[in-house]
Amino acid sequence: MDDAPHPEVVRDSDPILNEDAALALLQSGDLAADVLERLSKNSSVLKYRKVKLALVEHPRTPRHVSLPLLRGLFTFDLMQVALQPMVAADIKMAAEEALLNRMEAISSGEKLTLAHRASGRVAGELLLDPEPRVIQAALENPRLTEAPIIKAVTRPDSPSALVEAVCHHAKWSLRREIRLALLRNEKTPLARAVEFARTLPPPLVREVLQVSHLPENVKEYLRKDLEGSSS
Protein backbone atom coordinates (compact mmCIF):
# COMPACT_ATOMS: atom_id res chain seq x y z
CA MET A 1 0.00 0.00 0.00
CA ASP A 2 3.00 2.34 0.20
CA ASP A 3 2.80 2.94 -3.58
CA ALA A 4 -0.95 3.55 -3.59
CA PRO A 5 -2.16 7.08 -4.22
CA HIS A 6 -4.15 8.76 -1.51
CA PRO A 7 -7.90 8.22 -2.14
CA GLU A 8 -8.45 11.98 -2.13
CA VAL A 9 -6.38 12.45 -5.29
CA VAL A 10 -8.35 9.98 -7.39
CA ARG A 11 -10.17 11.78 -10.19
CA ASP A 12 -12.44 10.64 -13.00
CA SER A 13 -9.63 11.33 -15.45
CA ASP A 14 -6.07 11.19 -14.21
CA PRO A 15 -3.34 10.04 -16.64
CA ILE A 16 -0.86 9.77 -13.77
CA LEU A 17 -2.88 6.95 -12.16
CA ASN A 18 -1.63 3.73 -13.73
CA GLU A 19 -2.67 0.07 -13.40
CA ASP A 20 -0.31 -0.76 -10.51
CA ALA A 21 -1.34 2.33 -8.54
CA ALA A 22 -5.03 1.58 -9.04
CA LEU A 23 -4.59 -2.04 -7.95
CA ALA A 24 -2.61 -0.96 -4.91
CA LEU A 25 -5.40 1.44 -3.99
CA LEU A 26 -8.05 -1.25 -4.42
CA GLN A 27 -6.27 -3.48 -1.91
CA SER A 28 -7.68 -1.27 0.80
CA GLY A 29 -10.95 -2.66 2.11
CA ASP A 30 -12.12 0.62 3.63
CA LEU A 31 -12.27 2.83 0.53
CA ALA A 32 -15.27 5.15 0.42
CA ALA A 33 -17.94 4.43 -2.19
CA ASP A 34 -17.40 7.80 -3.89
CA VAL A 35 -13.70 7.02 -4.36
CA LEU A 36 -14.57 3.68 -5.96
CA GLU A 37 -17.10 5.37 -8.21
CA ARG A 38 -14.57 7.97 -9.34
CA LEU A 39 -12.07 5.21 -10.00
CA SER A 40 -14.65 3.37 -12.15
CA LYS A 41 -14.89 6.46 -14.37
CA ASN A 42 -11.14 6.87 -14.78
CA SER A 43 -10.53 5.92 -18.41
CA SER A 44 -6.76 5.63 -17.92
CA VAL A 45 -7.10 2.59 -15.62
CA LEU A 46 -10.53 1.16 -16.47
CA LYS A 47 -9.07 -0.27 -19.69
CA TYR A 48 -7.15 -2.82 -17.60
CA ARG A 49 -8.83 -6.17 -16.95
CA LYS A 50 -7.37 -6.58 -13.46
CA VAL A 51 -8.62 -3.15 -12.39
CA LYS A 52 -12.15 -3.92 -13.58
CA LEU A 53 -12.08 -7.23 -11.76
CA ALA A 54 -10.76 -5.67 -8.53
CA LEU A 55 -13.48 -3.01 -8.68
CA VAL A 56 -16.23 -5.58 -9.10
CA GLU A 57 -14.83 -7.69 -6.24
CA HIS A 58 -14.33 -4.78 -3.84
CA PRO A 59 -16.88 -5.09 -0.99
CA ARG A 60 -17.65 -1.35 -1.00
CA THR A 61 -18.15 -0.82 -4.72
CA PRO A 62 -21.74 0.43 -5.25
CA ARG A 63 -24.06 -1.96 -7.12
CA HIS A 64 -24.75 0.57 -9.86
CA VAL A 65 -21.00 0.60 -10.53
CA SER A 66 -20.13 -3.09 -10.20
CA LEU A 67 -23.04 -4.54 -12.20
CA PRO A 68 -22.29 -2.75 -15.51
CA LEU A 69 -18.57 -3.51 -15.10
CA LEU A 70 -19.34 -7.15 -14.42
CA ARG A 71 -21.03 -7.63 -17.78
CA GLY A 72 -17.79 -6.69 -19.53
CA LEU A 73 -15.59 -9.18 -17.68
CA PHE A 74 -14.00 -12.20 -19.34
CA THR A 75 -15.47 -15.67 -18.78
CA PHE A 76 -13.01 -16.87 -16.15
CA ASP A 77 -13.09 -13.52 -14.35
CA LEU A 78 -16.86 -13.97 -14.00
CA MET A 79 -16.20 -17.43 -12.60
CA GLN A 80 -13.79 -15.95 -10.06
CA VAL A 81 -16.31 -13.28 -8.97
CA ALA A 82 -18.96 -15.94 -8.39
CA LEU A 83 -16.56 -17.89 -6.13
CA GLN A 84 -15.18 -15.02 -4.03
CA PRO A 85 -16.36 -15.28 -0.38
CA MET A 86 -16.23 -11.50 0.16
CA VAL A 87 -18.40 -10.63 -2.86
CA ALA A 88 -22.05 -9.86 -2.12
CA ALA A 89 -24.56 -12.60 -2.93
CA ASP A 90 -26.43 -10.58 -5.55
CA ILE A 91 -23.19 -9.77 -7.38
CA LYS A 92 -22.24 -13.45 -7.37
CA MET A 93 -25.65 -14.32 -8.77
CA ALA A 94 -25.27 -11.68 -11.48
CA ALA A 95 -21.86 -13.15 -12.39
CA GLU A 96 -23.42 -16.61 -12.68
CA GLU A 97 -26.25 -15.23 -14.82
CA ALA A 98 -23.73 -13.55 -17.12
CA LEU A 99 -21.87 -16.85 -17.47
CA LEU A 100 -25.03 -18.81 -18.20
CA ASN A 101 -26.09 -16.27 -20.82
CA ARG A 102 -22.77 -16.81 -22.62
CA MET A 103 -22.91 -20.60 -22.74
CA GLU A 104 -23.81 -20.86 -26.41
CA ALA A 105 -20.80 -18.73 -27.36
CA ILE A 106 -18.30 -20.39 -25.00
CA SER A 107 -15.88 -22.94 -26.48
CA SER A 108 -15.96 -26.57 -25.41
CA GLY A 109 -12.56 -26.12 -23.73
CA GLU A 110 -13.87 -23.22 -21.65
CA LYS A 111 -16.98 -25.22 -20.75
CA LEU A 112 -14.77 -28.07 -19.57
CA THR A 113 -12.85 -25.72 -17.28
CA LEU A 114 -16.06 -24.19 -15.95
CA ALA A 115 -17.50 -27.64 -15.33
CA HIS A 116 -14.46 -28.51 -13.21
CA ARG A 117 -14.06 -25.24 -11.31
CA ALA A 118 -17.16 -23.00 -11.44
CA SER A 119 -19.90 -22.62 -8.84
CA GLY A 120 -22.37 -25.43 -8.21
CA ARG A 121 -25.09 -23.56 -10.09
CA VAL A 122 -22.98 -23.22 -13.24
CA ALA A 123 -21.84 -26.85 -12.98
CA GLY A 124 -25.49 -27.86 -12.65
CA GLU A 125 -26.35 -26.11 -15.91
CA LEU A 126 -23.43 -27.81 -17.64
CA LEU A 127 -24.91 -31.21 -16.79
CA LEU A 128 -27.18 -30.59 -19.78
CA ASP A 129 -24.27 -30.04 -22.17
CA PRO A 130 -24.21 -32.40 -25.18
CA GLU A 131 -20.55 -33.30 -24.61
CA PRO A 132 -20.10 -36.31 -22.27
CA ARG A 133 -16.70 -35.06 -21.06
CA VAL A 134 -18.27 -31.77 -19.90
CA ILE A 135 -21.03 -33.66 -18.09
CA GLN A 136 -18.48 -35.92 -16.40
CA ALA A 137 -16.40 -32.92 -15.33
CA ALA A 138 -19.47 -31.21 -13.87
CA LEU A 139 -20.33 -34.32 -11.86
CA GLU A 140 -16.84 -34.17 -10.33
CA ASN A 141 -17.15 -30.48 -9.40
CA PRO A 142 -16.70 -30.30 -5.58
CA ARG A 143 -19.33 -27.53 -5.36
CA LEU A 144 -22.07 -29.54 -7.08
CA THR A 145 -24.93 -30.70 -4.85
CA GLU A 146 -27.78 -33.18 -5.22
CA ALA A 147 -30.46 -30.64 -6.13
CA PRO A 148 -29.07 -29.59 -9.56
CA ILE A 149 -28.49 -33.24 -10.48
CA ILE A 150 -32.06 -34.17 -9.60
CA LYS A 151 -33.34 -31.16 -11.54
CA ALA A 152 -31.24 -32.13 -14.58
CA VAL A 153 -32.14 -35.84 -14.71
CA THR A 154 -35.87 -35.18 -14.28
CA ARG A 155 -36.00 -32.81 -17.27
CA PRO A 156 -37.60 -34.28 -20.40
CA ASP A 157 -34.61 -33.15 -22.47
CA SER A 158 -31.93 -34.54 -20.18
CA PRO A 159 -29.10 -35.98 -22.34
CA SER A 160 -28.70 -39.75 -22.44
CA ALA A 161 -25.04 -39.22 -21.59
CA LEU A 162 -26.05 -37.50 -18.34
CA VAL A 163 -28.41 -40.28 -17.28
CA GLU A 164 -25.79 -42.89 -18.08
CA ALA A 165 -23.08 -40.98 -16.21
CA VAL A 166 -25.19 -40.46 -13.08
CA CYS A 167 -26.37 -44.09 -13.10
CA HIS A 168 -22.77 -45.28 -12.90
CA HIS A 169 -21.24 -42.50 -10.81
CA ALA A 170 -19.45 -43.84 -7.72
CA LYS A 171 -20.82 -41.05 -5.51
CA TRP A 172 -24.07 -39.75 -6.95
CA SER A 173 -25.61 -43.10 -7.96
CA LEU A 174 -25.69 -44.07 -4.27
CA ARG A 175 -27.89 -41.16 -3.18
CA ARG A 176 -31.49 -42.11 -2.42
CA GLU A 177 -33.13 -38.99 -3.92
CA ILE A 178 -31.05 -39.29 -7.07
CA ARG A 179 -32.03 -42.94 -7.46
CA LEU A 180 -35.67 -41.92 -7.18
CA ALA A 181 -35.12 -39.26 -9.83
CA LEU A 182 -33.48 -41.80 -12.13
CA LEU A 183 -36.46 -44.12 -11.72
CA ARG A 184 -38.56 -41.33 -13.23
CA ASN A 185 -36.34 -40.95 -16.31
CA GLU A 186 -37.20 -42.95 -19.43
CA LYS A 187 -33.51 -43.23 -20.36
CA THR A 188 -32.42 -45.10 -17.22
CA PRO A 189 -31.19 -48.58 -18.28
CA LEU A 190 -33.27 -51.52 -17.06
CA ALA A 191 -30.40 -53.12 -15.10
CA ARG A 192 -29.76 -49.92 -13.16
CA ALA A 193 -33.47 -49.31 -12.60
CA VAL A 194 -33.82 -52.80 -11.09
CA GLU A 195 -30.76 -52.27 -8.89
CA PHE A 196 -32.01 -48.90 -7.63
CA ALA A 197 -35.56 -50.12 -7.04
CA ARG A 198 -34.34 -53.02 -4.90
CA THR A 199 -32.57 -50.62 -2.52
CA LEU A 200 -35.67 -48.49 -1.88
CA PRO A 201 -38.84 -49.15 0.15
CA PRO A 202 -41.37 -50.94 -2.12
CA PRO A 203 -44.24 -48.52 -1.35
CA LEU A 204 -42.03 -45.61 -2.38
CA VAL A 205 -40.99 -47.33 -5.61
CA ARG A 206 -44.62 -48.06 -6.50
CA GLU A 207 -45.47 -44.41 -5.91
CA VAL A 208 -42.62 -43.23 -8.14
CA LEU A 209 -43.56 -45.67 -10.90
CA GLN A 210 -47.01 -44.08 -11.10
CA VAL A 211 -45.43 -40.86 -12.37
CA SER A 212 -42.34 -42.36 -14.01
CA HIS A 213 -41.51 -41.90 -17.69
CA LEU A 214 -39.84 -45.30 -17.90
CA PRO A 215 -41.23 -47.50 -20.70
CA GLU A 216 -44.35 -49.42 -19.64
CA ASN A 217 -42.64 -52.80 -20.03
CA VAL A 218 -39.83 -51.65 -17.72
CA LYS A 219 -42.28 -50.38 -15.10
CA GLU A 220 -44.20 -53.67 -15.28
CA TYR A 221 -40.97 -55.61 -14.83
CA LEU A 222 -40.10 -53.53 -11.77
CA ARG A 223 -43.55 -54.06 -10.24
CA LYS A 224 -43.25 -57.81 -10.68
CA ASP A 225 -39.74 -57.73 -9.27
CA LEU A 226 -41.08 -55.92 -6.20
CA GLU A 227 -43.79 -58.55 -5.76
CA GLY A 228 -41.24 -61.33 -6.03
CA SER A 229 -38.94 -59.76 -3.47
CA SER A 230 -41.76 -59.23 -0.97
CA SER A 231 -43.20 -62.72 -1.23
Per-residue pLDDT tens digits of the chain, which is 231 residues long:
445 555 555 554 555 688 999 999 999 888 999 999 999 999 889 999 999 999 999 999 999 999 999 989 999 999 999 999 999 999 999 999 999 999 999 999 999 999 999 999 999 999 999 999 999 999 999 999 999 999 999 998 999 999 999 999 999 999 999 999 999 999 999 999 999 999 999 999 999 999 999 999 999 999 999 987 665
At residue 221, the pLDDT reads 96
Residue 130 and residue 35: Cα distance in Å, rounded? Answer: 46
At residue 1, the pLDDT reads 43
pTM across the whole model? 0.86
At residue 227, the pLDDT reads 87
Residue 221 and residue 70: Cα distance in Å, rounded? Answer: 53
Q: Is 77 helix (H, G, I), strand (E, B) or coil?
A: helix
At residue 6, the pLDDT reads 53
**Residue 3 near residue 21, CB atoms below 8 Å:** yes
3-state DSSP of 177-212: HHHHHHCCCCCCCHHHHHHHHHCCCHHHHHHHHHHC
Residue type, 188: T
